[in-house]
Chains A and B, each alone.
Chain A
Amino acid sequence: MSEVTRTGRKFFTIREISGPLLFVEEVSGVGYGELLEVLTADGEERTGQVIDVSEGITTVQVFQGTSDLDVKASAVRFTGETIKLPVSMDMLGRVFTGGGKVADGGPELIPEDYWDIHGAPINPYSREHPIDFIQTGISVIDCMNPLVRGQKLPLFSGSGLPHKLIASQIVRQAKVRGQEEAFTIVFAAMGITADEARFFREDFMSMGVLSRVAIFINLAEDPAIERIITPRLALTAAEYFAFEQGMHVLAILIDMTNYCEALREISAARMEIPGRRGYPGYMYTDLASIYERAGRIRGKSGSITQMPILTMPDDDITHPIPDLTGYITEGQIILDRKVHKTGLYPPIDPLPSLSRLMDKGIGPGKTREDHKQLSDQLYYAYAEGKVLRETALVSGEAALTKVDKLYLQFADRFERDFIGQGTSENRDIEKTLDLGWEFLSVLPESEFSRIDPDIIKKYSPKHTRKDADNSLVS
């Protein structure tokens, strides 16, 4: 059968439907990865993609799901194309479905170009290392786990934890110091509720940023399989803004857990041998094909910063979804339910959190020379304080030495007033670092083994105040 007659023709040869998959027979000349249209008996059009093709059987995943499809009256039409997103600057300010269709009642776009939604791997040789500190105004992030432009830094959350508030605060406050240009936002939602979707939309509206946001929404009640393409559509848009239009993009992907569930569903329907806890063995590679689309490219002025959000099933960080994510992303910000229950906002636990690009993004000229050492010391002191808190719980305060008790005091204040801050409180980095010094000085200076003596002299309030006093006297 020739190419010409195959594409565009309808085939009524669906042999089997299983979960999100169709098995089609008697079609030849179909390419792996090809896009096709699936037509229901009453003429509704859906889209699908070939995920396995052999001489006998072509396996197709249908993004809008297979409900109402049947083997007799439904048909497929091959396109000879791969899945592409029509791209244009007019995507900004618009809302699309998780499958990329216009969803805000507005006009169809006039595309500048069509981009393959799977992208292509970035040559590691062509990557430019991210180096620009993004001030989020949230102390526990900026000081302890700073975000850098071009980084992929996920929020590991749990159901009911305020990751939405944190994401929204970051969108509102994030800026690269000394630069006017605000972030362009690409927002991809997979399987979130209509309520949550409304929260974000209204939030973007109230911030007045709607005109620089492109929104792709797959709701909880939308077909699960569509979630496979939602982040890919969104990141294709992001790549267009960043690498074609030179913009700095912040891509928010929520909730990656729902994405992974969809992946699992397809794998189960294909009867593949499952990997750990029932998730496909290739989930690491699949997630990497999404997360690795963040970054900077040599010779291009734009960037993509990714903030994926996921809810850890049972708050378990060893669950394959957070685990594989953490192995790919450049750190993780971890929300803690115990902390949340104490009423602290943001309930971020800095100890297991990490920003791998911290060293690149901070220091003299970027934030301040004392930043790294101060944060190292804060890490040490807070970890120590938490261990001692446990000891005190088990054996009473009597088990503690004098210095131990100071560590306890430090940990309490650090949690309450350093980690803790308002949902719209925007602290600049100097304020954040000064606060860090203030709380640290509860401890005797001899404990500061991770800070150079010169730095202590220059920044510790004990010295700076003394200097100030001295100058008053003289």
Chain B
Amino acid sequence: MSSVGTISRVAGPFLLAKGMAGSRMYELVRVGEAGVIGEIVRLDGEKAAIQAYEETIGIKPGEKVVGTGKPLSVELGPGLVGQIYDGIQRPLSVIQDLIGPRIRRGVAPPALDHKKKWSFQPMVKEKTKILSGDAIGMVQETPLVKHWILVPPWIKEGFVESIVPEGKYEVTHPIAQVKTTEGSEKLHLMHSWPVRQPRPYKTMLPTDVPLLTGQRIIDAFFPTAKGGTATIPGGFGAGKTVMLQSLAQWADADIVILVGCGERGNEMADVIEKFPKLKDYRSGKLLMNRTVIVANTSDMPIAARESSIYTAITLAEYYRDMGYDVAVMADSTSRWAEALREISGRLEEMPGEEGYPAYLASRLAEFYARAGRVTTCGSDEKCGSITAIGAVSPPGGDFSEPVTGHTLRLTRVFWALDFSLAHRRHFPAINWFMSYSEYMRSFESWYENVGPDWPKLREEAMSLLKEEEELKEVVSLVGAEILGDKQRCVFEVAKMLKEYFLLQNAFHPVDMYCPIKKTYQMLRLILEFYERTKQAVARGVPLTQVLSLGVKGELARMKIVRPEEFDETNLAITKKMSEQFGQLAEETPEGESV
């Protein structure tokens, strides 16, 4: 039952209450006449500290606090996909319909539409033995998502006593009765789950399949895994948000959960406007059919910013349990960490580095630990994954700060954003020397299936970029005059690699997405051009002649050739390259020098 206490202090989003004996840590409470939603974040005898998920203006000491007996939980069931929620899973479109364009306190519509009827197909019969995680039926949630209705985690095993026939049911309608050792329990299309508690799985699996993103620099050089982790730190304007949005659009995950955590309202508006129109390249269906958005912008209550990360990862686990590959993108985990810091400061806890609480690292670790590829609970061997990708916004763009530091230790892929690239509008501004992927080695055989010479190409490309960097040093010391065509060719082709391959415009209708095969072919062609150029120069062909070959222009335009036409383009360019370089040889017979 619910306990009742009284408010003794209000300071912004932070409240103290007394007379709270019997309350539990992380219990959800309602405060005062307005019924402001809060969560107990510290208990000390009969005193409780509460973080409020809504505005606290006007709340007075003496107002009453009612415990709900439940921790902060999310509703899980059909109807999640396509929604946009705030940090405590309130549906923002419903809030708009209820109270207009501004968010005010006191509205708490259910996360799922309790009135909507879903077509349910039962998959088990009466008397069937079931385990936690077994599917008892299916709802086609969107054209892209088959929503399996699973036996919830708290029922370890049992028998189906009864199950409803195929038909249309609300999420709260009992669809099955299950007998367990503890008694008999009704199951519904939905259930609720506390966000701070990870959902169980059977075993953790190795992460050896890349999560393809359609972004060339990532897929070719710094891939993350299905079930992996990645972080993208960068100062403002370096390209975090655009990258996360590109990943949300093009990553080959089944479900994408995008968290706007303490960031701009207009960026969320942009996604809400764009996603329902964009098509998934694999299915041709609209992207919104696989996306859930959690938007707690910077002007929305800070406690709900803190919880938004947990809300998102819990939704991810729910779909993982169905056997899906889920990707969670959080923009930005720094704002989440700041929310932690602010709450901790109000609790007058001992501050650690830069005022962050000492438990910052462990909270971050808990979040990233909920990523992974697993065999899910249930009788069948099902495999699901969560990839967790977090943006970090280091103060002053300086990576030597606590949130970046801890995150780098906890994640296995680092996409380092570089101001100097961003300032010359080289996007994605991922620095190719600083970034890394610790998964690369376990992907080798996967890549060799796409093209046997992948590892070689990758190495050649990197060493070309390194060589250019070293030559630049030399030039700045002794001048460009000493450069022969052999060195100049490094500059020229490195520039081609950067401009024609690494540079990728997230807003160009074709360039925004590059399938892995095209990425491979593009890289191969540029490096073939390099190889041939080196040979020609060694033969004494002036570099200027090579650079004026028509095929160079075609290499420049590869990125805007549609993927479905690229096999043809690939052949055509290969052919032209061989012809045009061949003619060079004829015009400039061997031996003749410049």
Contact = CB atoms under 8 A, between A and B. Distances in A.
Q: Which of B59, B395, B475, B488 gathers the greatest number of chain A CB atoms within 10 Å? A: B395
A52 B423 contact: no
Nearest to B57: A33
B21 interface: no
Contact of A323 (B59, B84, B236): B236
Interface string B334-369: 010010011001000001001100000000000000
7 contacts: A31-B60, A55-B61, A120-B103, A124-B84, A323-B395, A384-B424, A391-B475
Contacts of A272: 345
Interface string A203-228: 00000000000000000000000000
B265 A127 contact: yes
A97 interface: no
Given A330-B266, A401-B480, A285 B302 contact: yes
Interface stretch (B159-167, B267-275, B567-575): B267-275
Given A32-B12, A125-B96, 8 more contacts: A52-B9, A52-B10, A126-B100, A129-B266, A276-B395, A292-B298, A323-B236, A399-B480
Nearest to A377: B425
B355 A32 contact: no
Contacts of A31: 10, 57-60
A12 interface: no
Contacts of A29: 60, 62
Contact of B354 (A30, A276, A354, A404): A276
Contact of A53 (B61, B488, B503, B547): B61
A359 B507 contact: yes
Interface in A416-474: 446, 449-450, 452-453
A121 B60 contact: no
A297 B100 CA distance: 10
Nearest to B16: A54
A292 B260 CA distance: 14
A193 to B, nearest CB: 29
A316 to B, nearest CB: 9
Given A125-B92, A274-B355, A299 B101 contact: yes
B477 interface: yes
The 3 nearest A-B residue pairs measured at CB: A318-B396, A383-B424, A288-B298
Contacts of B395: 276, 318, 320, 323-324
Interface string B144-163: 00000000000000000000
Given A121-B103, A126-B101, A295-B265, A351 B60 contact: no
Given A123-B96, A284-B298, A395 B425 contact: no
Nearest to A3: B60
A295 B101 contact: no
Interface in A349-377: 351-352, 354, 356-357, 359-360, 376
B480 A398 contact: yes
A337 interface: no
Q: Which of A121, A297, A328 gathers the greatest number of chain B CB atoms within 10 Å? A: A121
A299 B100 CA distance: 10
A379 B503 CA distance: 14
B480 A404 contact: yes
Contacts of B93: 125
Interface string B515-545: 0000000000000000000000000000000
B56 interface: yes
Contact of A33 (B8, B58, B398, B553): B58
A416 to B, nearest CB: 20
A380 interface: yes
Given A122-B299, A275-B354, A298 B101 contact: yes
Contact of A121 (B102, B273, B397): B102
Interface in B74-109: 84, 92-93, 95-96, 100-104
B342 A285 contact: yes
B398 A284 contact: no
Given A281-B338, A281-B355, A326-B237, A125 B56 contact: no
B479 interface: yes
B269 A376 contact: no
Nearest to A383: B424
Interface in B426-476: 426, 475-476
B36 to A, nearest CB: 11
B297 A292 contact: yes
Interface string B205-217: 0000000000000
B11 interface: yes
B270 A129 contact: yes
Interface string A400-422: 11001000000000000000000
B500 to A, nearest CB: 7
A369 B181 CA distance: 70
Given A30-B60, A33-B58, A289 B236 contact: no
A335 to B, nearest CB: 16
B75 to A, nearest CB: 18
A53 B60 contact: yes
Contact of A124 (B295, B425, B557): B295
Contact of B59 (A32, A327, A379): A32
A251 B62 CA distance: 41
Contacts of A324: 395
Interface string B232-270: 000111000000000000000000000010101110111
B556 interface: yes
Contact of A288 (B92, B299, B488): B299
B341 to A, nearest CB: 5
Nearest to B274: A129
Nearest to B488: A401
Contact of B268 (A55, A82, A124): A124
Contacts of A404: 480
Interface in B51-70: 55-62
A34 interface: yes
Contacts of A297: 101
B1 interface: no
B333 interface: no
